[in-house]
Amino acid sequence: MDAIDRTELGSFLRRCRERIRPGDVGLEITGRRRTPGLRRQEVAQLAGMSIGYYIQLEQGRGPRPSAQIVEALARALRMSDDERGYASRLVGVQPRRPDWMRREVRPGILHVLDQLTDAPALVCDAVFDALAWNRMAAALLPDFLAPSATDRNVIWRHFADDGGTERIDPVDRARFGRELVAQLRVAAARYRSDPAVTGLVERLQQHSEEFRTLWEAQDVGSSHSTIKRIDHPAVGPLTLDCEALHDPDRDQWMIIYTARPGTPDRDALRLLGVVGTQQLTE
């Protein structure tokens, strides 16, 4: 079965070509142009491919483009990330991900954080560096998210930091450690050129024998739900549901802590909303 949508690909490439002016890509305008945008020959030249092959693609013919050809056309036609992904899917190849993690949090996500006034929430990147958080999260994790904290990485904290407010029973701690390492392995394979990723792995290997053992197991995967037990200095023990929501466009996670209705944990979380945020203000 042919997984390529040749007709759609051809019309999409033509639309992208016609919207670009020669000056946008550093070309001089020579001669009279009967149609707007670039000529097919110019696109082929910018993409480093033959004019005959490019014409076939626009006409819905020819061999299936490789991932490298799609990338070359995306650069030549100044495609956005969404357009590049769309073109990749039209030819049946996996869209190329960036080599570096994106650390900028979308404004809409920051707005959601501010609206969550009764639930601690934070946003982390692919290796669980905390990028943004709300006031409830700062109250729940005062050591981890303190203004003076120099390393706000969930994985580093789990394996290398014996302090803090979290007290997890041995079974939960072992399971959570396996999940963190499995997710870090996925990120390490995806962002092999990012020194923030390789540096974190190296530091953990040097510092933690437990991490080295789990890393050598080569488990991969991701977890979206878990239970966290936190012994908080202001409100005491808390058992919270922890949900991780993934933003695939930026490969970031929003982690939200909630307490089940009708439990002492819910009452303690409400109290934290008063006591903890007052302490932050003071």
Rounding to the nearest 10 degrees, give the CA dihedral for residues 161, 162, 168, 172: 60
pLDDT of residue 249: 80
Closest CA to 5 of 96, 79, 92, 80: 92
Does the structure show a pLDDT above 70 at 97? no
Share of the chain above pLDDT 90, in %: 48
Q: Which residue has the higher pLDDT, 111 or 80?
A: 111
With cut-offs at 50, 70 and 90, classify the pLDDT of residue 150: confident
pLDDT of residue 165: 44
With cut-offs at 50, 70 and 90, classify the pLDDT of residue 73: very high
Range 264-281 average pLDDT:
79
Phi, psi dihedrals of residue 135, rounded to the nearest 5°: -65, -35
Counting beta carbons within 10 angstroms of the beta carbon of residue 226, is it exposed (0 to 12), middle (13 to 18) or buried (19 or more)? Answer: middle
pLDDT of residue 99: 74
Chain segment 167-225, per-residue pLDDT in tens: 556 667 788 889 999 999 989 988 888 999 999 999 999 999 999 999 998 888 877 88
pLDDT of residue 163: 46
Q: Is 255 helix (H, G, I), strand (E, B) or coil?
A: strand
Chain segment 15-41, per-residue pLDDT in tens: 999 988 877 776 766 666 666 788 899
pLDDT of residue 167: 58
With cut-offs at 50, 70 and 90, classify the pLDDT of residue 278: low
pLDDT of residue 230: 85
pLDDT of residue 111: 94
Is the Cα torsion angle 17, 23, 25, 26 positive or negative in sign? Answer: positive
Which residues, other chains included, contact 71 with Cβ-Cβ below 8 Å and sequence gap of 6+? 84, 96
Q: Kindly report the average pLDDT of the chain as a whole number.
A: 86
Does the structure show a pLDDT above 70 at 105? yes
Range 261-279 average pLDDT:
85
C-alpha pair distances (Å), 105 with each of 183, 192, 223, 255, 262: 20, 21, 21, 13, 34
